[in-house]
Structure 1
Amino acid sequence: MIAAVDSHILIIVPCYNEQDTIESVVAGIYQTRDKHRLNLDVLVVNDCSTDRSVEAIRRTGCLYLNLPTNLGIGGAMHAGYKFAWRNGYDIAVQMDGDGQHPTHELPKLLQPLFDNQADVVIGSRFITREGFQSSATRRMGIAYFRWLNQFLIGQTIHDSTSGFRAFNRKTLALVERYYPDEYPEPEAIVQFGLNKLRMLEVPVVMSERQGGVSSINTSRAVYYMIKVTLGILFIFLRLRNRPVLTL
């Protein structure tokens, strides 16, 4: 079930050295757009790639931002959200450029926004536990962040590190102003919770990355856990006494 054909949607694809996958990702998004008759644009945010990603992006014919310096995933997405807000998009969707997020799963994220059931929709690997489940080390980290977020905001998000998520206009008003940098997904959960945004997880089947290299590996796992924990606590302490977001 897909409706709300009048909703103007922007798919934001952060890209860092994704020359081998970015064209197929964008092509898949356009196929889903045509199949479901969605009013949809694609914006690739090239985060100062050092390979031939820019050439591949240009061949797709999509919109793109070419950042002059590497900002990391948070900075790249913040640029994309600013673009979406300032150009009047109703919905913004984050999708990875490495092929992990199958484009045919897009309708699952969009439907709750079309039906006004949520402000933030997160594609979760851990509801039906189908498809690629990530490594055991990462699953332990995800479980830890699930506990931490539940403790701080009283809401359980099973896949808080998922980068497959969709925001409505109300959420865009928030992330246009501020969005966490470097490893933003778990930190943003607290940001959304403290602003009383309605968060909803939907089950999706993800794939292994089809190209590129993850910024998080086993040797950086402890650093990642400590840094993101501090980021989550910082956001919680900074925002807990502030007024709820209003448009």
Structure 2
Amino acid sequence: MNKVLLIIPAYNEQDSILSTIDTIDEYNKNHSSNKLDYIVINDGSRDRTEEILTSNNKPHVKLVHNLGIGGAVQTGYKYALEHNYDIAIQFDGDGQHDVNFVEDVCKPIFDGKANMTIGSRFVEGSTSEFKSTKARQTGIKIISSFIKFFTGEKLYDVTSGFRAVDRGLIAQFAIDYPLEYPEPISTTQILKEGKHVSEVPVEMNERSGGVSSIRSWKNAYYMINVLLSIMIIGTRRSK
């Protein structure tokens, strides 16, 4: 049976982290033959996140300093590699992702059809009512167009944090993973390397607590830097 790990990055998620974990625990109760392991990466939270995780005896890694989403997730990949997991899934700690779609997200990897899968709100079959703001949807479409131009592959929910990777990418990301803008940048990188990426329709929820890592005042800065990074990766010669 494949070993699957949920990597849950958490920064100041005191309002949602326990309820997020509870949904996983409930899933495991109802799927005793196919349980999911998880590890919370407490990314230097300044609120009660660490206290909540410790007092409730939840498996987690405490980072002394805030590394940002890329550093936190890479810590999870290092953990997955050290503990010999077959699939690692990035799973947000803010309640946006639905654990009931984990099996769907894993299936293309199980079937040998993908090295990475992305849980998508924007592909056929998704009934997700939450699709982010119009401004962010526009930004996602622009990033998607850049990735298509430089890799030849059309993906839609390119900033989705609900992603699964196979054993090979676990090993790769444990060593080399973007600290900034990790989702679109790492996706572009592996597409340039000839890896296979699939999108799977999922439902997502609005975050149940905390604050998004992308603030409105950062949106222009975020977009410029993401697009420049995609251009740099896209113009490199493939190995």
TM-score, normalized by the shorter chain, greater than 0.5: yes
Q: Would the alpha carbon gap of residues 200 and 104 (structure 1) be closer, same or farther in structure 2, given more than 3 Å must change?
A: same
Q: Deviations over 1:15-53 (max 9, x none)?
A: 000011111111111222332332421100000000000
**8 A contact 2:150–2:235 mirrored in 1:** no
Tell me the SS of whatever aligns to 1:163.
coil
Aligned-pair CA distance for 1:129: 5.3
1:96 matched to 2:92? The reply is: yes
CA distance in 2: counterparts of 1:181 and 1:204, whole angstroms: 26
Read off the aligned partner of 1:153 and give its amino acid letter. Answer: T
**8 A contact 1:93–1:165 mirrored in 2:** yes
Which residue of structure 2 lines up, in the alignment, with residue 216 of structure 1? 214
CA distance in 1: counterparts of 2:103 and 2:55, whole angstroms: 26
1:165 matched to 2:163? The reply is: yes
TM-score of the pair, normalised by structure 1? 0.91
Q: Deviations over 1:170-198 (max 9, x none)?
A: 11122112111132111111111012111
**8 A contact 2:193–2:238 mirrored in 1:** no
Q: CA RMSD in A?
A: 1.4
Which residue of structure 2 lines up, in the alignment, with residue 141 of structure 1? 139
Q: Would the alpha carbon gap of residues 61 and 42 (structure 1) be closer, same or farther in structure 2, given more than 3 Å must change?
A: farther
Which residue of structure 2 lines up, in the alignment, with residue 62 of structure 1? 58
1:33 aligned to 28, 49, 72, which one? 28
CA distance in 1: counterparts of 2:19 and 2:67, whole angstroms: 24
Aligned-pair CA distance for 1:206: 0.4
Tell me the SS of whatever aligns to 1:123.
strand
**8 A contact 1:171–1:197 mirrored in 2:** no
Percent of aligned positions that are identical: 42
CA distance in 2: counterparts of 1:59 and 1:192, whole angstroms: 39
Q: Would the alpha carbon gap of residues 179 and 101 (structure 1) be closer, same or farther in structure 2, given more than 3 Å must change?
A: same
Which residue of structure 2 lines up, in the alignment, with residue 3 of structure 1? none
1:109 aligned to 105, 110, 116, which one? 105
**8 A contact 1:113–1:121 mirrored in 2:** yes
**8 A contact 1:7–1:39 mirrored in 2:** no
CA distance in 2: counterparts of 1:53 and 1:187, whole angstroms: 28
Aligned-pair CA distance for 1:60: 4.2
Tell me the SS of whatever aligns to 1:93.
strand
CA distance in 2: counterparts of 1:195 and 1:59, whole angstroms: 43
1:87 matched to 2:113? The reply is: no
Tell me the SS of whatever aligns to 1:106.
helix
Tell me the SS of whatever aligns to 1:176.
helix
**8 A contact 1:180–1:187 mirrored in 2:** yes
1:47 matched to 2:43? The reply is: yes
Which residue of structure 2 lines up, in the alignment, with residue 245 of structure 1? none
Equivalent pairs counted in the alignment come to 236
Runs of 5+ consecutive residues of structure 1 not aligned to the other structure = 1-5, 243-247
Q: Would the alpha carbon gap of residues 231 and 105 (structure 1) be closer, same or farther in structure 2, given more than 3 Å must change?
A: same
1:152 aligned to 144, 150, 153, which one? 150
Which residue of structure 2 lines up, in the alignment, with residue 176 of structure 1? 174
Which residue of structure 2 lines up, in the alignment, with residue 235 of structure 1? 233
Runs of 5+ consecutive residues of structure 2 not aligned to the other structure = none
